[in-house]
Homo-oligomer: A and B are copies of this chain.
């Protein structure tokens, strides 16, 4: 069991490194195997396909994200700051692996793919990511509309997916635009959330909440475990 874990890690790291450098298409399975010093078939003993390497990256990237946040959510109480940090660190963690994120989103675009972040197969990981936003909401000192609160984490997760999409398309130096996008949209979300509680927003409130409710995405939370 020891040796094989090494082979798997070696294959994964080689693949990620090559894909990050040369892109997903340009990296052939044969080349990865060769560089890792094994036969081509070996990769398929550990990974079910080339695309599934992407899913493994998705998993690892989430773990890195959690680690990057270590301690933070236990001390900070401002909703805005919590959200800002969570989303920012997500991008920071992914920064060196834009090609992986690109490939991931290409798969994400196809709901039929078992590897999409929206697929059944990705459910556990997706729910774990949503949990992060539940924590963002729960641990903050902001007030949330009673009907909004339960769906907010999901929509915040979707917002983060949107930010990642923005980033993928962002060609600015060091992804500056993405960080500036976060800097501007997070306060907007926070202030929209505050505003929706105010009497001024009454005419909109009902409409928007019913809209959010009726299209609340099914991220799999109902299904068992």
> Which residues in A have some Cβ–Cβ distance to B below 8 Å?
23, 102-103, 105-112, 118, 165, 168-169, 177, 180-181, 184-185, 188, 195, 200, 204, 207-208, 211, 214-215
Contacts and interface: CB of A to CB of B under 8 A. Distances in A.
Given A181-B215, A185-B211, A215-B181, A23 B112 contact: yes
A191 B207 CA distance: 11
Contact of A200 (B106, B112, B165, B200): B200
A184 B211 contact: yes
A143 B73 CA distance: 45
Nearest to A215: B181
Contact of A188 (B165, B181, B195, B211): B211
Contact of A110 (B102, B185, B207): B102
Nearest to A104: B109
A109 B112 contact: no
Nearest to A177: B215
A188 B208 CA distance: 8
Contact of A102 (B23, B111, B214): B111
Contact of A214 (B110, B184, B207, B208): B184
A175 to B, nearest CB: 13
A168 B215 contact: no
Nearest to A210: B184
Contacts of A211: 184-185, 188
Contacts of A214: 180, 184
Nearest to A195: B204
